[in-house]
């Protein structure tokens, strides 16, 4: 038997249970991966509460989790280029990553670079592809000044580094506890709070060219007030603002490919991108992991060890 996180109805963290389930089998074109590490994400918490029911409805019982990294333990008919024992990272579209074993199509895994740590590999897909899509959406490059909300979070921390790699100047909005880290990756940090608009104007006296919102709240309103062109504002979370202002809402779904994941994995393995790991929890402590996540003050990623 395998173990997997499930919930039977929308609700709070207490709905999450770790249950014994049949170990998945590899069908044609599929592989089974024994999971070593699996990231958790704010969107999963929102799905569990029912907040995203209209966009991503859930049937029960529901599994949970998208990101994972581990070792292949079974290969289905018709799979080429992969074999039992291969170390891989990947994603599942079936909300099944928070488990000891996951079965996925073979084209949803990619080889794990030897010097890429398990925790980072298992937490990379959602945040990495979301950041990739957001940076692409605002067409940032050399000479641009871009503000990022939630700049030290899972998505924000990668977004900042991808922007810097493109030559953009980055203003990272985050708590003061994260300012030293933001400076270390080449961003100008400013604290959120009542004086944020004035602080942004002071940090970018010639104005902001683009704004990426990874947090929600009223950051899109602030970007609009500061005169950032709507076509260069992207939010990964505030879908109401997309409707209200016509800003972009590009995120994970817009770059959710194994090729993007492989590219990001190579960049991290090469040391070009740092993925901070905030905490690691055993699978049985999944409720505690989400309690920490939902405080929304985490630098980088929280990871489960099945």
**Residue 142 counted as domain residue:** yes
**Residue 258 counted as domain residue:** no
Tell whether 228 and 292 lie within a shared domain: no
Tell whether 112 and 169 lie within a shared domain: no
Mean pLDDT of successive 10-residue stretches along the chain, which has 306 residues: 97 97 98 98 92 88 96 98 97 97 98 97 97 97 97 94 97 96 97 93 97 96 97 96 97 94 97 94 98 85 96
**Residue 261 counted as domain residue:** no
Contact 147, 211 (CB under 8 A): yes
Task: Give residue 55's pLDDT.
Answer: 81
Give how many domains the chain has, as a whole number: 2
Tell whether 52 and 159 lie within a shared domain: no
DSSP of 105-150: EGGGEEEPPTTS-HHHHHT-HHHHHHHHHHHHHTT--TT-EEEEET
HEC profile of 142-196: CCCEEEEECCCCHHHHHHHHHHHHCCCEEEEECCHHHHHHHHHCCCEEECCCCCH
Tell whether 228 and 145 lie within a shared domain: yes
Report the CATH number at residue 42: 3.90.180.10
Q: Domain span at residue 188?
A: 127-253
Looking only at the bridges linking them, the beta strands covering 87-91 and 109-111 are: antiparallel
**Residue 268 counted as domain residue:** no
Task: Give residue 297's pLDDT.
Answer: 76
Tell whether 197 and 299 lie within a shared domain: no
Q: Angle, nearest 10°, between helix axes 125-137 and 154-165?
A: 50
**Residue 264 counted as domain residue:** no
Tell whether 139 and 114 lie within a shared domain: no
Tell whether 53 and 158 lie within a shared domain: no
Length of the chain, in residues: 306
**Residue 260 counted as domain residue:** no
Tell whether 131 and 109 lie within a shared domain: no
Tell whether 83 and 193 lie within a shared domain: no
Tell whether 99 and 150 lie within a shared domain: no
User: 204-216: string of b/e by CB count within 10 Å (b at 16+)?
Assistant: beeebbbbbbbbb
**Residue 182 counted as domain residue:** yes
**Residue 270 counted as domain residue:** no
Phi, psi of 196 (to 5 degrees): -60, -45
Task: Give residue 193's pLDDT.
Answer: 87
């Amino acid at each position: 038997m395998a173990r997997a996180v499930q919930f039977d109805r929308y609700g709070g963290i207490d709905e999450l249970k770790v249950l014994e389930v049949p170990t998945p089998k590899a069908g044609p074109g599929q592989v089974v991966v024994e999971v070593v590490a699996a990231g958790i994400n704010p969107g999963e918490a929102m799905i569990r509460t029912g907040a995203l029911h209209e966009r991503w409805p859930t049937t029960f019982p529901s599994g949970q989790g998208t990101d994972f990294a581990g070792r292949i333990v079974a290969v289905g008919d018709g799979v080429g280029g992969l074999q039992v024992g291969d170390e891989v990272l990947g994603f599942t579209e079936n909300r099944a990553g928070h488990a000891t074993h996951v079965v996925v199509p073979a084209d949803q895994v990619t080889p794990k670079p030897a010097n890429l740590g398990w925790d980072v590999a298992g937490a990379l897909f959602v945040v990495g592809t979301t950041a990739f899509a957001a940076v692409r959406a605002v067409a940032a490059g050399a000479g641009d000044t871009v503000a990022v909300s939630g700049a030290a979070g899972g998505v924000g921390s990668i977004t900042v580094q991808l922007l810097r790699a493109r030559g953009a100047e980055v203003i990272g909005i985050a708590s003061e506890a994260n300012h030293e880290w933001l400076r270390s990756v080449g961003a100008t940090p400013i604290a959120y709070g009542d004086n944020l608009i004035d602080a942004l104007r002071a940090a970018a006296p010639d104005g902001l060219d683009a704004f990426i919102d990874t947090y929600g709240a009223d950051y899109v309103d602030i970007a609009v007030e500061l005169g950032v062109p709507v076509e260069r504002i992207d939010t990964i979370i505030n879908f109401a603002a997309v409707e209200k202002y016509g800003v972009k809402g590009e995120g994970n779904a817009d770059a959710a490919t194994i090729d993007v994941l492989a590219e990001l994995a190579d960049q991290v393995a090469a040391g070009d991108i740092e993925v901070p790991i905030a905490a690691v929890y055993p699978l049985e402590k999944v409720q505690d992991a989400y309690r920490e996540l939902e405080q929304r003050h985490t630098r980088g990623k929280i990871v489960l060890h099945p």
